[in-house]
Chains A and B, each alone.
Chain A
Amino acid sequence: GQGVEQPAKLMSVEGTFARVNCTYSTSGFNGLSWYQQREGQAPVFLSYVVLDGLKDSGHFSTFLSRSNGYSYLLLTELQIKDSASYLCAVRIDTNAYKVIFGKGTHLHVLP
């Protein structure tokens, strides 16, 4: 079957970095998005990648390897407010609704 997998929890320390992993196995691939969701709030779009390699967007960077079905979101210079869930979403074809979301990784940033 098709799936997008993420570890449930991740902990890191303020001022350091955190890497949130996402692996996927899908019938097709038409882009991968990352969303941030704070407790009790809506998911907020962070990044979209469709080509292999690292996309540096400052505080957030995104890596994609399509051949390995793997992506990660890298957060640098962590702040306490980065504590949130991070959702990975894979669009499997050109139909807009064919997006499979992972269940999210809850990142806890320690002081």
Chain B
Amino acid sequence: DAGVTQTPRHEVAEKGQTIILKCEPVSGHNDLFWYRQTKIQGLELLSYFRSKSLMEDGGAFKDRFKAEMLNSSFSTLKIQPTEPKDSAVYLCASSYDWGGAYEQYFGPGTRLTVL
């Protein structure tokens, strides 16, 4: 089984640009998460989908961050406009909540640098 895939692995953007990050979750998983990871803040939740429906949009990140899930096997995260403080690793994770041990499967991440 393929794990979570993310593209691109690295992205460099100028301040003010629009960038789109992509994620393909594990087949059969119905939960999908977008996180931002920095050394200072750790993992911060940006968005959460259950069965393609947006359940949580990360509050403070609503302004310039928009995640979409067009079908059960593909999600995008758009950042518009980018700012230097957005430089971080963006992780996508998927899971299936069967009521027991809840394991999130993470993708390799996209390292974003905003100049």
Question: A residues engaging B (CB < 8 A)?
Answer: 31, 33, 35, 41-45, 48, 87, 91, 95-97, 99, 101-104
Contacts and interface: CB of A to CB of B under 8 A. Distances in A.
A43 B37 CA distance: 11
Please give me the 3 A-B residue pairs with the lowest Cβ-Cβ distance, nearest first.
Answer: A48-B101, A103-B42, A97-B48
B14 interface: no
A43 B4 CA distance: 12
Interface size, B (range): 20 to 34
B95 A96 contact: yes
Nearest to B101: A48
B109 A42 contact: yes
A89 B41 CA distance: 14
A45 B26 CA distance: 15
Interface string B87-107: 000010001010011111111
A97 B45 contact: yes
A48 to B, nearest CB: 4
B103 A45 contact: yes
Nearest to B91: A42
B24 interface: no
Interface string B27-40: 00001010000010
A95 B33 CA distance: 13
B42 A101 contact: yes
A47 to B, nearest CB: 8
Residue among B39, B42, B56 with the most chain A CB within 10 A? B42
A41 B91 CA distance: 10
Given A96-B50, A96-B97, A97-B33, A87 B43 contact: yes
A70 to B, nearest CB: 19
Given A43-B104, A96-B95, 7 more contacts: A35-B104, A42-B109, A43-B91, A44-B106, A48-B101, A97-B45, A103-B42
B104 A45 contact: yes
B20 interface: no
